[in-house]
């Protein structure tokens, strides 16, 4: 049976832990100079509607390290839903490739690709969620803190796609997630309703200091995401009190770690002093995108093989 990775919804804890264990193994293998050919003879198409550093490099390198072939498509190459329908694109791609990774504006583009493609589809980022990033973050926390269970993760900033994926993840793993944002920037009601249905420990507050208090993790992202450039000045004003700086960090646990999915707008959502400080694990997160995404691709490919 085909499985897609569009978000945490539809995956149980055991399945996600399988992927995380595989990521750890692949990271060890790479450091030992081993490249297991888990995608040998396989082709992966990488569709990008948005520019990218981490997503493009980690997926291309990851496919190569697993013995597969990556095909990169720019917005001009494919023009999803413009030159031809998303459904027709999916039906073409499934005849040529074994996996589809798409980084899109609209989440509905991903769901339509998945509905019409007979091969697994991976969400490389959408306006709704960024599950590859958050699963890599979970992997990073397990490395650094030894566990996810019982941690308090404080997200300071906008209720964006990354925050949505953290809320989804809290419905699978038993950690506490608190989001501090300005009034008017809260998560969509449907996201919170789904969290409540999954019994996730999720809290939303407008008080950044209260969110940071006793936190094990302080997490942030840019205040203005791609596509919101016209709101930049207003968002800078609205989010001015939601910066991760040394003052805020002092309210977290003494051994708290600082995370950012990058790119960072230093001096806005996070200061140089913090992102370059001893508690920052920002670049460990970036490294682990490679290993986690390799594990996602290999896991999905393995499920296809088992059910053919």
Task: Determine which one of 221, 243, 260, 285 is catalytic.
Answer: 221
Query: What would the two tokens of residue 246 be?
Result: 């040394």
- Which of 197, 125, 123 lies closest to 167 in space, CA to CA? 197
Helix (H) or strand (E) holding 219: strand 217-220
Which residue bears the tokens 């803190």?
Answer: 145
Task: Determine which one of 130, 235, 260, 291 is catalytic.
Answer: 130
CA dist 178 and 176 (Å) reads: 7
Helix (H) or strand (E) holding 61: helix 54-65
CA dist 198 and 145 (Å) reads: 25
CA dist 113 and 28 (Å) reads: 33
Which residues sit opposite 302 in a β-bridge? none
Helix (H) or strand (E) holding 88: helix 86-96
Mapped onto helix, strand or coil, the DSSP state of residue 36 is coil
- Which of 38, 93, 44 lies closest to 66 in space, CA to CA? 38
Task: Determine which one of 132, 261, 285, 291 is catalytic.
Answer: 261
Mark 236-259 as b/e (b = at least 16 C-beta within 10 Å): eebbeebbbeeebbebbbeebbbb
Active site residue 103: yes
Contact indicator for 288, 23 with CB cutoff of 8 Å: yes
Active site residue 98: no
- Which of 125, 120, 139, 103 lies closest to 26 in space, CA to CA? 139
Cα torsion through 224, 212, 134, 9, rounded to 10: -100
- Which of 41, 47, 39 lies closest to 100 in space, CA to CA? 47
Active site residue 261: yes
Active site residue 272: no
Active site residues: 103, 130, 133, 221, 261, 289
């Amino acid at each position: 049976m085909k499985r897609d990775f569009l978000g945490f919804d539809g995956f149980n804890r055991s399945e996600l832990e399988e992927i995380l264990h595989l990521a750890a193994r692949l990271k060890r293998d790479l450091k030992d100079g081993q490249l297991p050919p888990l995608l040998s003879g396989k082709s992966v198409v990488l569709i990008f509607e948005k520019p990218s550093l981490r997503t493009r490099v980690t997926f291309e390198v990851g496919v190569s390290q697993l013995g597969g072939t990556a095909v990169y498509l720019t917005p001009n190459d494919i023009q999803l839903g413009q030159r031809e329908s998303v459904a027709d694109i999916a039906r073409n791609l499934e005849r040529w490739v074994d996996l589809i990774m798409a980084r899109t504006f609209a989440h509905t583009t991903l769901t339509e690709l998945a509905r019409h493609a007979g091969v697994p589809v991976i969400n490389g980022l959408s306006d709704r969620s960024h599950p590859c990033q958050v699963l890599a973050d979970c992997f990073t926390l397990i490395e650094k803190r030894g566990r996810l269970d019982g941690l308090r993760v404080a997200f300071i900033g906008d209720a964006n796609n990354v925050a949505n994926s953290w809320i989804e993840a809290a419905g699978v793993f038993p950690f506490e997630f608190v989001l501090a944002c300005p009034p008017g920037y809260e998560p969509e009601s449907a996201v919170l309703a789904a969290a409540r249905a999954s019994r996730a420990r999720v809290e939303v507050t407008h008080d950044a200091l209260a969110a940071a208090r006793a936190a094990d993790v302080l997490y942030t992202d840019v205040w203005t995401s791609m596509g919101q450039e016209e709101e930049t000045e207003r968002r800078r004003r609205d989010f001015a009190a939601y910066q991760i700086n040394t003052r805020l960090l002092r309210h977290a646990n003494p051994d708290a770690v600082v995370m950012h999915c990058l790119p960072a707008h230093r001096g806005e959502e996070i200061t140089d002093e913090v992102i370059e400080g001893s508690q920052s694990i920002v670049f460990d997160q970036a490294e682990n995108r490679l290993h986690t995404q390799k594990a996602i691709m290999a896991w999905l490919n393995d499920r296809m093989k088992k059910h053919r």
